[in-house]
Structure 1
Amino acid sequence: MKQSKTHRKRGILLTPAGLNRLQEAIMAVERVENHGDHLTLDELSDRMNVSTKTLSRLWSLHTGVDQKTLKLCFSAFNLELHEQDYTILNENEHDSSETSQALSLSSDTLDLRSSQSLSIDSFVKFGREQLKNLWSYPDGPVPLDSPLYIERPPIEELVYQEITQPGCVIRIRAARQMGKSSLVLRLLAFAHKLGYRTVNLNCNQIDSDCLTDLNKLLRCLCWRVATELGMDPNLNDRWDEEVGCKLNSSFYFQNYLLKQSQSPVVLVFNEVDRFFEHPQICDEFFALLRSWCEEARQNLNWQKLRLVVVYSTQEYVTLDINRSPFNIGLPIRLVEFTHPQVKELAKAYGLDWSTGKESGSLISLVGGHPALIQLALYYIRCQEMTLEELIEEAQANGGIYRYHLWRHWIKLQENPELAKTYAELVTAKQAIYVNPIETYKLESLGLIRLEGDHILPRCELYRAYFEKQLVTATTRI
């Protein structure tokens, strides 16, 4: 009796995690080296030193390749192959459970075998399909693998390009909950794919006593960066109290941290608003950072440092308008979502807002404020709340936005003169004059928008809520 032929599979397959890592690295190279255009299959073949036929087998996710080939593909984009990036095909097994899962997720989106170009959009869709039903309460930055992140061109492209420039500085400014942290996460991931080393420092983690003593602050910074880079801080041997803390920290970065690093170092300062409460420290610290950037024009070690400064400006309410945290580098100011972007986000939540009527109604209430839009879509999709109910409750008592509104209310109460000005603004029937200092402070808080010479409440939600609150408070007085 003739035995049936046994199907044998050899080699390894990409897992969803491995596929995601590789596609992100390819996208990073396309942005930096190819002006954002997709690399063709032939171009990838040349870069990876494998045949187009082998690449087609790799993209198919159901035909095994050998481990050496996969390592070549990853190393071509400065990646190390990890165990979670692939699954091993057993000789006498048709499929492993993980392979079956990958095939079921990718069969409709990754059939690239007959294509002569690699579609990165297909890879992105692949990742989104895995996450489309995983909606959670929108609090904090949007995770890297979330389909709920909406790009705001050309912002992402600008920061990705700038971070590749030696000795660069990027300043990301926006009011609270406008998406600064979500953008930083993606910038750091992009830098990591390029082989850069990264340090993400939240200034709220710095002890208060360090913010009244520049020497303590700079030692703290040097220790943190060295530790994050996996180096022995060795501060006592490299810190000479006779020469002053600014020179000490400069020499420490130049001759120790940066000199030992073979690749660029991206240093992010998040929440630098914390420094604004300490003007003397603020002035000295940012002057020092500026001197480092100027050194990068002539010193190769300093050229490895890429600085990213992130701030909301909310604490400018108590600061002199002329005390700026930075006036060099690439300024990035996050803008509100547009109508198409709101519709795109609604689609990610599984809502059909294609007509634009619903997105128009929501924007009329909250403008294009990312956090407020995101919160509304979450409640509509996951809490069985209609858009009409949401708008009615928000205008009556703040509704789902009450905590957000309370934070602004507290800020205004801390500055009675500013609160009085805002009360006049939200109750005015026509444009009124607001002096430049108060305009700057209200705009920094995110409470107003500027239309030519007109100063208006940022959105209808703010106008309705604060008109009621501020007028009531004034009446009581």
Structure 2
Amino acid sequence: MERAKTKRKRGVILTSAGLKRLQAAILAVEIAENHGQRFTLEELSARINISPKTLSRLWSLKASVDHRTLKLCFSAFNLELESADYNISSDLDKISTDDLIWGNSLDEQDIDFFESRREHSFSVKESDNLTYTVSFPDGPIAFDSPLYIERPPIEKLAYQEINQRGCVLRIRAPKEMGKSSLVVRLLALAKQQHYYTVKLNCNQIDYNHLTDLNKFLRCFCNGVAKELGIEPKLDDNWDEEIGSKLSCTFYFKNYLLKQINHPLILVLEEVDCLFEYPQLAQEFFPLLRSWYEEARRDTDWQKLRLIVVYSTEAYISIDLNRSPFNVGLPLRLPEFTRQQIQELAKRYGLDWYSTQEASQLMSVVGGHPLLIQITLYYICSQQIPLNNILQEALVNGGIYRYHLWRHWVKLQENPSLLEAYAKVVRAQTSISLNPLETYKLESLGLITYKGNNVIPSCELYRNYFLRQLSKN
């Protein structure tokens, strides 16, 4: 008599934390070895040496597999299996292939790989609890958040660039457009590839260091060394006789880079503040450019991959042949499209695909990422109808008051710039401004081009600033 088939018991279930680690590692390999193209389930199966069916069961986070299989998956992508990556289970294997969340390929997954968790975290049924699951959007979007919206091809280009030896990646956009959220993802990806990562915010540098090149470069080197966990030993590696720039260069090349065996991703955020110190900027930025050029022929410098993040371009006198702002890959973050707003609304548990809400919102705030996020947050957390939000915004700023007030304070600090913007918001059609005014207002995100002329970036700005100007 034929023996009845029984379902095999498997010992462990992949946790969401483990899935996050594994999928991020897979992404790193896809970018490094597959030109950024996603592996199909069959390709992953061949690489790991387990069947597609078993692999699919693993992705479900419901079916258990044996410990050895899970270890194989992680080791195939240079990861050590950790206790937080799995739970012990003795349940019978009951999952079917109908429960798969990846289907036959990875093509529909976002680069951050959290699409599979979106419905669970932001389903309509859970909308009453949204306040507790989504914090107010006032900073970078966490790496594990499903609320990050990609703006192709920005992310793919950035991911590919940091794998280039000695690269310079320049990320430019006005404040609150998503630069820091992109950096969060770049650093997470770099760590998955065992790169060293250091992020320095130039706004955190003391004033007395910004007015003295030697102090600034020593502070810069000291900060990088400490972030790398290397004892700075600046006095042992600094030669006043050859000057601070050569000392800084030798310190990086012969001390820091010699001690690391993987690439270093160095992020410089808020470099705009350095433009306010022209003497420093005219020395420091050409120094960065020289390192980029050295990387073309020096393998030590090829370990350094530089990411420069800023809102304004260097409107200072730097020889084009010595400037780092005309080399490497420039990326400028655009506003959201209507389709991207609809997708973000879906992740908040709203269906805007079959309605006009996305277009209605864009007619007031444009595609500004932060203003879109704030709107959706209030709609879902406090159940405020979109019409009410927009009506109040056009009357007194509404939920966007802090964002608008910050811009108003900035303009008041610069009377000539305020006067220029007054011309823009009062004009019935697009107008022309002088290049410096245009550059500054565009860097703040307050204007957009219409042909060769400019107009306010959105109707919210026009209404708010017209009202503020009328009070003066």
Same fold (TM over 0.5): yes
Task: Call closer, same or farther: CA 1:294–1:109 in 2, change over 3 Å.
Answer: farther
After superposing the two structures, state which structure 1 stretch, 222-231 or 123-132, moved more: 123-132
Pairing 1:38–2:35 present:
no
> Distance between the aligned counterparts of 1:168 and 1:64, measured in 2?
43
Give secondary structure in 1 for the equivalent of 2:171: strand
Show CA shifts across 1:165-219 (max 9, x none). 1000011111110000001101111112222111111122222221112222222
Shift of 1:443: 1.1
**In 2, Cα distance between equivalents of 1:363 and 1:56:** 40
Question: Alpha-carbon deviations, 1:19-63, whole Å to 9, x = none?
Answer: 111112212322343244332344323423445565355445455
Q: Secondary structure at the match of 2:308?
A: strand
Other structure's SS at 1:177 match: coil
Task: Between 364-373 and 384-393, report the one with greater CA deviation.
Answer: 384-393
1:126 to 110, 116, 120: 116
Give the RMSD, CA atoms, in angstroms. Answer: 2.8
Equivalent pair of 2:53/2:97 in contact (CA under 8 Å): no
Q: Match for residue 86 of structure 1?
A: 86
Match of 1:3 in 2: none
Instruction: Tell me if the contact between 2:217 and 2:248 (Cα under 8 Å) persists in the aligned partners.
Output: yes
Distance 2:432 2:61 in 1: 64
> How far 1:8 moved relative to its partner?
8.1
Counterpart position of 1:380: 379
Equivalent residue of 1:326, what SS? helix
**Contact preservation (8 Å) 1:27, 1:120:** no
Q: Distance in 2 between matches of 1:465 and 1:202?
A: 31
Distance 1:382 1:250, change over 3 A: same
The question of whether the paired residues in 1 share the 8 Å contact of 2:221 and 2:248 is answered with yes
Contact 2:41–2:106 under 8 Å retained in 1: yes
Give the equivalent residue in structure 2 for 1:245.
244
User: Structure 2 CA distance, aligned partners of 1:80 and 1:39?
Assistant: 21
Task: Measure the CA separation in 2 of the matches of 1:451 and 1:327.
Answer: 25
Describe how 1:17-36 pairs up with structure 2 within 5 A. 17-36=17-36
1:234 aligns to what SS in structure 2?
A: coil
Matches within 5 A, 1:61-140: 61=61, 64-89=64-89, 93-94=90-91, 110=100, 117=105, 121=109, 124-132=114-122, 133=130, 134-140=133-139
- Structure 1 length normalisation: TM-score? 0.88
Q: Which residue of 2 aligns with 1:150?
A: 149
C-alpha separation between the residues in 2 aligned to 1:120 and 1:240? 55
User: 1:411-464 CA deviation, whole Å, 9 max, x = no partner?
Assistant: 111222221222122111233332222111211111111011231111101111
Deviations 1:64-111 (A, max 9, x none): 54544433322322222222112234xxx438xxx99xx8xx997536
The answer to whether the 8 A contact 1:168-1:307 is kept is yes
SS in 2 for 1:121: coil
What is the 5 A alignment of 1:378-417? 378-417=377-416
Q: What SS does the aligned partner of 1:216 have?
A: helix
Q: Does the C-alpha gap of structure 1 residues 385 and 116 become closer, same or farther in structure 2, counting only changes over 3 Å?
A: closer
The aligned amino acid for 1:363 is M
2:183 is aligned with what amino acid?
V
Give the aligned partner of residue 285 of structure 1.
284
Q: Per the alignment, in what secondary structure is the counterpart of residue 109 of structure 2?
A: helix
Q: Which residue of structure 2 aligns with residue 184 of structure 1?
A: 183
Q: What is the rounded CA distance, in whole Å, between the counterparts of 1:296 and 1:9 in structure 2?
A: 54
1:231 and 2:219 correspond: no
CA distance in 2, matches of 1:378, 1:460: 21
Alignment check: 8 A CA contact 1:7 1:94 kept: no
Q: What is the rounded CA distance, in whole Å, between the counterparts of 2:270 and 2:97 in structure 1?
A: 43
Distance 1:356 1:249, change over 3 A: farther
C-alpha deviation, 1:310, in angstroms: 0.4
Q: 1:45 to 1:280 in 2, by over 3 A?
A: same
Query: Structure 1 residues 61, 418: closer, same or farther in 2, change over 3 A?
Result: closer
Question: Structure 1 residues 372, 116: closer, same or farther in 2, change over 3 A?
Answer: closer
How many Å separate the matches in 2 of 1:462 and 1:63?
52
Flag the 1:382–1:57 CA change in 2: closer, same or farther, 3 A: closer
* Cα separation, partners in 2 of 1:47 and 1:255, compared to 1, 3 Å: farther
Q: Percent identity?
A: 60
Alignment partners' CA distance in 2, 1:211 and 1:27: 39
1:20–1:119: structure 2 CA closer, same or farther, 3 Å change rule? farther
Task: Show the counterpart of 2:127.
Answer: none
Matched residue SS, 2:136: coil
Cα distance change of structure 1 residues 61 and 403 upon mapping to structure 2, 3 Å threshold? closer
Corresponding residue SS for 2:79: coil
Flag the 1:22–1:452 CA change in 2: closer, same or farther, 3 A. same
Q: The residue matched to 2:306 in structure 1 has which SS? A: strand
Query: AA paired with 1:192?
Result: K
User: Structure 2 CA distance, aligned partners of 1:301 and 1:325?
Assistant: 19
Q: Supply the AA of the counterpart residue of 1:121.
A: Q
CA distance in structure 1 between the partners assigned to 2:288 and 2:397 by the alignment: 42
Q: How many residues align?
A: 454
Which residue number in structure 1 is paired with residue 14 of structure 2? 14
Q: By how many angstroms is 1:159 displaced?
A: 0.4
Q: How does 1:360-375 map to 2 (within 5 A)?
A: 360-375=359-374
Is 1:335 the counterpart of 2:353 in the alignment? no
CA contact (8 A) 2:446 2:457 kept: yes
Question: Once the two structures are superposed, what CA deviation does each residue of 1:375-420 show, in whole Å capped at 9, x if it has no partner?
Answer: 1111111122111111111111111111111111111112222212
Q: Distance in 1 between matches of 2:388 and 2:101?
A: 44
Partners of 1:117 and 1:174 lie apart in 2 by: 34
CA distance in 1, matches of 2:318, 2:285: 14
Query: Secondary structure of the residue that 2:239 maps to in structure 1?
Result: coil
Question: Tell me, which stretches of 5 or more residues in structure 2 are unaligned?
Answer: 1-5, 123-129
Residues 321 and 110 (structure 1), Cα distance of their counterparts in 2 relative to 1, 3 Å cut: farther
* Aligned partner letter, 1:154: P
Offset at residue 277 of structure 1 (A): 1.8
**8 Å Cα contact 1:78-1:195 kept in structure 2:** no
- Which residue does the alignment assign to 2:457? 458
Per the alignment, do residues 361 and 40 of structure 1 end up closer, same or farther by CA in structure 2, a change over 3 Å counting? closer
For the 8 Å contact 2:286–2:324, the answer to whether it is kept is: no
